[in-house]
Amino acid sequence: MFPPGFVWGAATASYQIEGATRADGRSPSIWDTFSHTPGRTHNGDNGDVACDHYRRLDEDLDLLAALGVGSYRFSVAWPRVQPDGKGPANPAGLDFYRRLVGGLRDRGIAPTATLYHWDLPQALEDAGGWVARDTAERFAEYAAVVGEALGDGVERWITVNEPWCSSFHGYGNGLHAPGRTDTGAAVAAVHHLLLGHGQALAALRAGGARSVGITLNLVPVRPASGHEADAAAARRMDGYANRMFLDPLLRGRYPSDMAAAFSSARPGLGVVQPGDLEVIGQPLDFLGVNYYSPAIVADPSRLDEARRAGLVPSERQAERVAAELGVARVVRAGSDRTAMDWEIEPSGLTDLLVGLARDYPVPPVYVTENGAAFCDYVDPDGRVQDPARVEYLDGHLRAVAQAIGEGVEVRGYFCWSLLDNFEWAYGFAKRFGLVWVDYATGARIPKSSFSWYRDVIAANGLA
């Protein structure tokens, strides 16, 4: 059902699984600061211990081997490698990733390394974070350091994971570290994350890296009705969630409607300098796409009409940048949702991939994350059963197969996530893993989805 050579993978991120936040010279990241600030995360949860992956590396590598993945997507913690965010590498921090990459290769698993999955060294945030242009330069230096240390061992590099989350959730919506609510700062952060991506890509290539891309969280957007006001709201949401990143990366410019919508947000795109868009628009070897759920949007003045059509306001109304842009999120009353309350819609993934290939000159695509949190349960024999996750993954893999059938060059799929882990502001309450983690003991229990996915991988397709 999938093409020969299709890459099957599983994904994680450093702060969500590693723990050992003070080991071997690691410095605090913005997520240590944020999660230790009262009121920022569910239950005050933090990544101090998380899955204790830093100390259970071999056990987790063995789980990956048992799953049979062709590739493992992990991220490198910048504050382990450069505790001050600049300067010489910390050898003990790099050593962990050398052991990780070596351990994968020993097991025949190709490493896919993400350089930035949100754990910015706090020292750099103190100097302005992603609102400061200097952070992009520092990121390129860090990329060169990691590229040189891990070198040939890494099959493919992802510079930045989901710059939308880092910029808008981090600096605009206040939902992620560093927790700021300043739209102008968020838009400047967009630019510096993309600039950092471009500079890091060049640095990695100069060091001999074969395959370099970026991962975006993209959202298929649907208008709540055929009314022009809802269609216009959907265009604004598409600009905010998708085009603000796709256009500079793949077309060499920011979308003019978004530049106008953010024109009063300072510094915003005022930070763009001559030549930056050439750096950002350098050809990618691949585009990573993370997909979880679609978005249905209405014009805020039309929520009553939406309600009459069975569409109810979603909790995401709380997102302040969307509200500023005049975008109201709605969901179908009674629709299937995950434990995150995200609507389940596999066809959204087909639409997204097909639309991307239709609208942009896209390089080959990897689905670098897809998965779901559910209320998994332990059966009388002590097995963790997660039939809802199997159904979610099955549906979304069929959606990928359909996009491939329609001509989109999708080269691989990484399930989020290998392990239950620290789900950012939701703490440990939401479990996305193929493997259950007992946080009290650190014990790992593969769920029923683990053996299901193992069989899919072995068959290169669905039954």
The reply on whether position 217 binds ligand GBH by CB under 6 A is yes
Determine contact, residues 320/174, Cβ cutoff 8 Å: yes
3-state DSSP assignment of residue 435: strand
- The shares of helix, strand and coil residues in the chain, as percent rounded to the nearest 5, are 45, 15, 35
Distances (CA, A) of 346 to 235, 248, 300, 398, 437: 22, 27, 27, 8, 27
Question: Which positions from 309 through 348 interact with ligand GBH, judged by CB under 6 A?
Answer: 316
**Least distance in angstroms from the C-beta of 371 to ligand GBH:** 7
Q: Which residues pair with 72 in a beta bridge?
A: 10, 111
**Least distance in angstroms from the C-beta of 230 to ligand GBH:** 17
Question: Which positions from 415 through 444 interact with ligand GBH, judged by CB under 6 A?
Answer: 416, 423, 432
Residue 18 appears among annotated catalytic residues:
no
Q: Where does this chain touch ligand GBH (CB under 6 A) — which range of 267-275, 286-294, 380-388, 400-408?
A: 286-294
Which class for 377: exposed (0-12), middle (13-18), buried (19 or more C-beta within 10 A)?
exposed
Determine contact, residues 171/184, Cβ cutoff 8 Å: no
Which is the catalytic residue, given 369, 391, 406, 409?
A: 369
Question: Which positions from 158 through 187 interact with ligand GBH, judged by CB under 6 A?
Answer: 161-162, 165
CA 31 – CA 315 distance, rounded (Å)? 23
> Which x/- pattern over 29-68 shows residues binding ligand GBH (rule: CB under 6 A)?
----------------------------------------
Looking at residue 207, its amino acid is G
**Least distance in angstroms from the C-beta of 399 to ligand GBH:** 16
Our CA dihedral for 189, 192, 198, 203, rounded to 10 degrees, sits at: -120
The reply on whether position 112 binds ligand GBH by CB under 6 A is no
Select 141 or 439, whichever has its Cβ closest to ligand GBH: 439
Tell me, by CB under 6 A, how many residues bind ligand GBH.
Answer: 16
The reply on whether position 240 binds ligand GBH by CB under 6 A is no
Strand locations in 194-237 (E): 212-217, 221-223
Q: To which H or E segment does residue 160 belong?
A: strand 156-161
**Least distance in angstroms from the C-beta of 295 to ligand GBH:** 5
CA 10 – CA 434 distance, rounded (Å)? 9
Select 76 or 219, whichever has its Cβ closest to ligand GBH: 219
User: Where do runs of H (alpha helix) occur along 107-151?
Assistant: 122-126, 133-150
Q: Where does this chain touch ligand GBH (CB under 6 A) — which range of 78-86, 157-165, 188-196, 273-281?
A: 157-165
The reply on whether position 290 binds ligand GBH by CB under 6 A is yes
The reply on whether position 18 binds ligand GBH by CB under 6 A is no
CA 185 – CA 78 distance, rounded (Å)? 22
Question: Which positions from 353 through 382 interact with ligand GBH, judged by CB under 6 A?
Answer: 369
Q: Contacting ligand GBH (CB under 6 A), which of 6, 8, 10, 13?
A: 13
Q: Contacting ligand GBH (CB under 6 A), which of 115, 193, 219, 365?
A: 219
CA 194 – CA 37 distance, rounded (Å)? 28
Select 276 or 423, whichever has its Cβ closest to ligand GBH: 423
Determine contact, residues 219/295, Cβ cutoff 8 Å: yes
CA atoms within 13 A on the CB side of 151: 3
**Least distance in angstroms from the C-beta of 324 to ligand GBH:** 14
Question: Which positions from 398 through 417 interact with ligand GBH, judged by CB under 6 A?
Answer: 416
Q: Contacting ligand GBH (CB under 6 A), which of 154, 209, 289, 295?
A: 295
**Least distance in angstroms from the C-beta of 159 to ligand GBH:** 14
Task: Give the footprint of ligand GBH on this chain (CB under 6 A).
Answer: 13, 16, 161-162, 165, 217, 219, 290, 292-293, 295, 316, 369, 416, 423, 432
Where in the sequence numbering do the catalytic residues fall?
369
